[in-house]
Structure 1
Amino acid sequence: HFDDTMTAGCHHNDEKAVELLVREGPKRIRELINAGLSFDVNQDGILHLGQEGAHSKRRILHAGGDQTGRTIVSFLLEKLMGRMTIVEGEYVIELLVENGRCVGIKTKNQLGEISCYYASAVVLAAGGCAGMYAFSSNASTVTGDGIALAYRAGAVIADVEFIQFHPTMLFVDGKAVGLISEAVRGEGAVLVTEDGRRMMEHVHPLKDLAPRDIVARAIHDEMSKGHRVYLDISAIPSYRERFPTMANLCAEHGIDMETGRLPIVPGAHFLMGGVLVNDCGQTSIQELYAVGEVACTGVHGANRLASNSLLEGIVFGARAAEAIRRETAPPTPLRKKTNNIHSIKRGVNDLPEIPTIQTIMSIYAGIVRHEQGLQRAKQWFEQFPLSDFANGSLDDFSIEEITVIHMLLTGWLITTSALERTESRGGHYRTDYPFEREQWRQRRIRRTKKELTVTV
């Protein structure tokens, strides 16, 4: 598991973090099983081990067929009910930082009402930024808010040039409408062109189970040549029962699974970088933690190994919780934030539409990149007052406008980091630098808002 993770990550991974993942992962999974979580079993009642892209052996547990993530989250939420207060309908617009310490959050609701919540520790678990692209496996709300919030607060951001595109999104009427799990290829499905040619046959030794970045680029290349690409599932017995989510998705969009072919397209899926943390989820800001996709633990390197995301969340989430319990932070007084932050001058219609940002990111900072395109994207982002967005108060903006501002900051961070890394590695591929370069091995591009000067 360690070797597969390092290989998939193009050895950009933090070895210590990977060691923690593979050593503590089984223990955390056993804790979930002992708490009552049921994973899929075979006919003999033994845990069914699946295989997915870039794994050298069967080692992956599933729950509910292709609904593992949903099953785990539902199980954990059920355990939490009655033990905590959940606030919904509010959008975090700022992390409150005083004297280098995160003391709480500021939120806004659709009525424009602002609230402040104070705590001895804040855990950021806001997901990634795949919704910034035209084709995405994520919810439309996953647009880099956590990255932008942490950046505005002064936290260190790292590795955001590494974006993973999942090879197999169901493609209907020019839109990516849902994810087809990697487990489908693990059980025997193969990628073919419209004439039945197996397109991964001579691309990589692992063929259809090659690392995601390689498969996604291969599909992108075929489609750029005018070919249509399909996932051939005809070799999988009882695929409806084995993959109920896929079956429901196809039925919902009028795709006849009996043909054995599902039209697919790559879609933005996972951010390998994020808010830089240590092995306990601690960011560069005291009492601010980050877990899950929003965090950069270093586990994934330049390209995430299939199914390591859930395991990372479980392992490092537990480590963050234990660290918070160990450290007794000083009490936080309940008071209004009084920092003097300059207000941003409002313009009329001065923010772009979300689809425009998605188009810019998809064309210039997507699966395949090059200097000219990245420069164009950088110049486009820099027409907006990014330093004001990074340093000023957003209180007067609507939730929808703040979402766009967060996308602009995150998009600029991704684009400029991709421009700086003059090589190709994992989820970052440049046609002008198509190979890995030794001088970039294990070098992380770190970003803080000090690079944006405040203009008042």
Structure 2
Amino acid sequence: MNVESTDVLIIGSGIAGLMTAECLRSHKNVTIITKSSFQNSNSYHAQGGIAAVTEKEDHWAEHFIDTVKAGSFHNEETLTEILVKEGPDMIRTMEDWKVPFDRNKDGSLTLGREGGHRRARIVHAGGDRTGSKIVDVLYQRISHHITVQEFEIAGDLIIKQGKCVGAWTKNANGEVTVYFAASVILASGGAAGLYNVNSNDKSITGDSIALAFRAGAVLSDLEFIQFHPTMLFTNGESFGLVSEAVRGEGGTLVTSEGASVMSGVHEMGDLAPRDIVSRTIFEYIQKGYEIFLDVSKVKSFTNRFPAITAICRNAGIVLNEGRIPVAPGAHFTMGGAVTNQWGETTVPHLYAVGEASRTGVHGANRLASNSLLESVVFAKRTAARIMALKEHEASLFPVEWEYTEQQKRRWPEKQEIQRQMTQYAGIVRTREGLGEAIRWFENFSIEKPDYHCKPDEIERINMLQTGWLIVTSAHLRTESRGGHYRSDFPSNDDNCWLKKQVYRKKDQNEQAEAKKAAAGIFS
């Protein structure tokens, strides 16, 4: 067993973890561990862009309104305001770092529009390769300044006297390392990988949620799982995500007969919020329809969307025919470890960023392209909080740590867990189905991993823990809201909440702008 120490231990290597490391690297000794390669993350595969107000015609209040409307009015107002106000500065920072954002001929940023946005405010890089372009720049900036350990999974966090003081890990060779750290940051993503059809990298299996739960951190909103409407799905197999930006450029959802799927369903049509579009497609599929994304009117599709073009080619889809077969798939986890505006969880010295956290900015349903925005905005804030720690607060390493060996149990295979989640906690849920899922999960003794567990066993334990938490949370929420749809309970969205909140801005100038923006939406 190896023992290491570091100022900051980051678990996960997506944009949230890398951005936090970038902000800390000149001030702290930083170590990143990731259970796969740094290129195996949802961030790296992200086709969508970053939503931010970068034009004079746009205003943060409009972005705020779009965000809370998509979130079914379940958002944390203060943190959501921070998100949309600080986003533009992060775009400018990344421009200074030479992130190759797409630009018009006059040099201005090329802005796209996606579901739930009433304006074009999405910044892209490399067309549909925004995530990989940002990750590559961040990795180049940090790689010579911090330690990055790939193919190493966190077994559990180390809690001493109520504080998080590190974690133990296991690598692909079976070697155990104990890391003691003054600050530990969870950044290994969400839990959409617990479903059969999903858009996530194979490495994403709810690890941060399970780690936070076992550490005693408060979790919230785990029932809110966003299903992306358009996964390329053909011959019973999912091949990858077809970005919402395709619909922003003119793509439309149709049946095999060419009938519009979203006509008359929502005022924003094909660009309605994701939960609404996903449920509509799901209902069509349940009735025996095949659903397609018609891209015949998208200009220069192959140039604009090179990554999606490659996915189509891999799936044997002939783009000249103008139609891509699609179906909804699990995409994003709105819940996680509850954090404040500085990334702090309820466990001292334990932080969470990105999809591992529950900042509350996404409410019950994330607005398109707000995920990378959340990652960069709150990564910077988390780093600022850690840098503000006094020296004596940043040196609480334990003299000793007690390790308890667990009795080995039988754990189901990954595919078994995915089947349960898909069948009972998918797009449409019922009390009976969720109760059945809870009973299935509780057939297994879900204990913390020990040193004898293989990496894949640690992963399955985390999936069991997180799956049980999701289905239990879904069973407890007796309403339909956003990404949580109970067929036995009606929707509980309420526009009055937003009207009241939007007018609460303290600054008179901001209040006037917010009222002006709200008037155009709620008139």
Same fold per superposition (TM over 0.5)? yes
In structure 2, how many angstroms separate the alpha carbons of the residues matched to 1:377 and 1:240? Answer: 42
The reply on whether 1:110 has 2:166 as its aligned counterpart is no
- For 2:300 and 2:105, how far apart are their aligned partners in 1? 14
Aligned to 2:468: 412
* Aligned residue in 1 for 2:188: 126
Letter in 1 for 2:325: P
1:360 match: 420
Q: What is the aligned counterpart of 1:183 among 245, 257, 265? A: 245
Residue-by-residue CA offset, 1:51-76 (whole Å, 9 max, x unaligned): 00000111110000011111111111
Q: If the length of structure 2 is used for normalisation, what is the TM-score?
A: 0.81
- Structure 2 CA distance for aligned equivalents of residues 4 and 53 of structure 1: 10
What SS does the corresponding residue of 1:120 show, helix, strand or coil? strand
Q: Give the conservation status (yes or no) of the 8 Å contact 1:118–1:332.
A: no
SS in 1 for 2:246: helix
1:394 is displaced (CA, Å) by 2.3
Q: Which residue of 2 aligns with 1:436?
A: 492
Structure 2 distance, partners of 1:330, 1:234, is: 57
Match of 2:14 in 1: none
In the TM superposition, residue 396 of structure 1 has moved relative to its aligned partner by 2.2
Q: Secondary structure at the match of 1:86?
A: strand
Which residue is 1:376 aligned to? 436
TM-score, normalization by structure 1: 0.92
The match for 1:15 among 51, 58, 77 is 77
Distance apart, 1:334 and its partner CA:
7.1
Map of 1:214 onto structure 2: 276
* 2:443 partner amino acid: Q
**Cα distance in 1 for residues equivalent to 2:125 and 2:493:** 40
SS in 1 for 2:233: strand
Does the residue aligned with 1:317 lie in a helix, a strand or coil?
helix
Contact 1:271 1:293 in 2 (8 A): yes
Which aligned pairs between 1:46-85 and structure 2 lie closer than 5 A? 46-85=108-147
**Amino acid paired to 1:19:** E
Go from structure 1 to structure 2 and tell me whether the alpha carbon gap of 1:381 and 1:52 turns closer, same or farther (over 3 Å shift): same
Q: Which among 333, 338, 345 is matched to residue 402 of structure 2?
A: 338
Distance 1:160 1:182 in 2: 24
Deviation by residue 1:340-362 (Cα, 9 ceiling, x = unmatched)? x3x33224xx2111111101100
Change over 3 Å in CA distance of 1:417–1:84 after alignment to 2:
same
1:446 corresponds to which residue?
Answer: none
- The answer to whether the 8 A contact 1:116-1:336 is kept is no
Q: Where does structure 1 lack aligned partners over 5 or more consecutive residues? A: 443-456
Q: Is the 8 A contact 1:129 1:270 kept in 2?
A: yes
Shift of 1:265: 0.9
Residue by residue over 1:179-204, the C-alpha shift from the partner in whole angstroms, topping out at 9 and shown as x without a partner, is: 11110000000000111001100111
Deviation sequence 1:127-175 (CA, Å, 0-9, x none): 0111100000001121101100111111111100000000011113211
| Superposed CA offset, 1:221-264 (max 9, x none) | 00000000000000111111011111111112211000000001
SS in 2 for 1:19: helix
CA distance in 1, matches of 2:273, 2:342: 28
The answer as to 2:291 corresponding to 1:229 is yes
| Contact map agreement 2:71 2:362 (CA 8 A) in 1 | yes
Contact 1:423 1:437 in 2 (8 A): no
Q: Please tell me the residue identity of whatever aligns with 1:312.
A: E
Q: Residue in 1 aligned with 2:450?
A: 394
Partners in 2 of 1:432 and 1:109 — Cα distance?
45
Aligned match of 1:89: 151
- Where 2:469 maps in the other structure, the secondary structure is helix
Partner Cα distance (2:228, 2:250) in 1: 17
Shift of 1:89: 2.1
Alpha-carbon distance between aligned partners in 2 of 1:431 and 1:82, rounded to the nearest angstrom = 52
> What is the Cα deviation at residue 437 of structure 1?
7.0
Evaluate the alpha carbon distance shift between residue 107 and residue 312 of structure 1 in structure 2; reply closer, same or farther with a 3 A threshold.
same
Please state if 1:299 is matched with 2:361.
yes
Matched residues in 2 for 1:34 and 1:203: separation?
Answer: 42
1:266-285 to structure 2, matched below 5 A, reads 266-285=328-347
Change in CA separation of 1:199 and 1:33 when aligned onto 2, cut-off 3 Å: same
- Name the SS for the 1:63 alignment partner: coil
Structure 2 distance, partners of 1:333, 1:231, is 55
Corresponding residue SS for 1:47: coil
The amino acid across from 2:72 in the alignment is: C
CA distance in 1, matches of 2:382, 2:427: 32
Indicate conservation of the 8 Å contact 2:165/2:398, yes or no: no
**One-letter amino acid of the counterpart of residue 74, structure 1:** D
1:332 Cα deviation after fit:
3.9
Match of 2:491, as an amino acid?
F
Please state whether the residue corresponding to 2:95 is helix, strand or coil: helix
Q: Quote the sequence identity (%).
A: 49
